[in-house]
Structure 1
Amino acid sequence: MSQALALMPFGELTEQDIVTVRETIAKDCNESQFRLFMGIAKTSGANPLLQEIHPSVFQGKLTVQFGIDFHVRKAKETEGYQGYDVQLVHDNDTFKMHQERAEDGRYYAVIDEHSWGFPRGKVVGGYAIAYKEGYAPFTVVMDVEEVEHFKRSDIGMQKRMWNNFFNDMFKKHMTRRALKAAFGLRFDDVEPADSAPEAYEPQQRKDITSEVKVTERKNQQPPPEDDEETKQQKQMQQARAEMKKKFEQLGISDPAEMAIYIEQHAKPKGDRPTFAEITGLLKIMDLHIAEKQEQAAENDELN
């Protein structure tokens, strides 16, 4: 460890603590990746010694995963937290559920019955419920087929964990999803790589427009002030460029597949998606990118 790294402050962690993290859970990181990982740990308040945060290096790229204990702790710190429940459904269980519509028009799942005896048989699905005061319970229901791909993962550790401890891994996977959605936990969306996507909120677009205007001034011609239509065109161009980048991150390059994805998730009302529909699609793509990263580095869920 370099002297600069050793002297870098990390909250309550001592220098020996940092050495321990470096030589154990972060042993696969190079020095730059380790510094970045520890910086994210400090910023988020996750303690690597308590296994609340874990670095994974796959094909030379660093991804940072937050353990289930950190999800639970952050959820408890959120106003209105009332706990959670997670259960597996086996093929011999009696399980019934339905959807109800809340006053705000949104649907939520209701478990009508879940009873069992022994032997229960194989796991066929599961659900996690997050409870928040003033809101309908938020339920994540999953079929076992949705996580079977983890057993075939190219990542050795991930494959071993899902094959050797499948029930625990499945329960923690569902719990993380429920807590993240119910309590707005956004820390798992961090992408530490240099290729992290640019923000696409309106204030970011204004900065880019300013850069364009500075370039135009080099021609010694005062740039005409953009009218509303021109601004909308520029926003649309940037949104489409951002969508293209995210398709690359998702590994979708075939135009037909892109069209299907847009149709399924943007659900455009016209022949082409509007700016608002693309903006909503970008946020959905962010979630899918985060899920893809989870699939590449979920070997910390039993920690």
Structure 2
Amino acid sequence: MSKSKQAEFVKWFGPLLEALRELGYSGKPKEVSDKIAKNLKLDNAFLDQTLKSGTNRFHNQVAWARQYLTWEGLLDSSTRGTWKLTDKGKNTFLDYKQAHQLFLKWVEINQKARKNKSQKEVITEQEQEDPEAIEIKAETNLLEVLQNLSPSGFENVCKELLREHGFENVEVTGKSHDGGIDGYGTLEINPFVSFKVLFQCKRYKGSVSRSQVGDFRNAMIGRAEKGIILTTGTFTNEAEKEASRDGAPQIELVDGKKLVRMFEKVELGVTPKTIFEVDLSYFEKFSD
């Protein structure tokens, strides 16, 4: 296996630790990835690359870096949804050589735990799949179901999802696709304050572009205080910047990963199951 193909995520080990230190020792996954991208001045062409599954390649690599640092005891694995440095992690600084040694240690442990996999297969699998393998399988299944719905079916399931999350008077505009608006609803903040929200549904496997976000904003200006774009795909880096651009109406972006979490939170179309994940770090001391 050439060096260029050897787990590119290893180069994010050190930058990930540094990003968490700058964020006050903890942060949400996207927040951490964005901090790394900003610190290293990564260009948008790289940040917008996706895997065959449609998952953002950079964010997936950073997630794998986090998994290895967790196995090493540098990040806390108990806090779900938030990445947090342990005391050991707060005082650990890794250059590439040190990161690569740590990586090889845990690849070997993974390989022993999965005797039917070669080292090359373990590394290749990690380059292409999400570290939370069980979750990504369920996520992929749900996204596949959503992507195989008809356009109107996807719009209507999004309508149900918004209702389950507290929106009222939610309606789909129908085949007219009124200026790119697929539907609208009302969100009540408290008994005295509520506002109208317009939404757009994109049943994608690829990425929503900056221009598409801009077109949606143009369609909603003067008609609602808030806009939401829901997609089974992803958003380009420039699209995310456009959605939160200063001086323009803010647009909430819901990508495939967040969409799945929204379905799971209200248990809409999914059934929860208890799953136990093997803690490889626990068994490391018994590997000799």
Superposition TM-score tier, normalisation by shorter sequence:
under 0.3
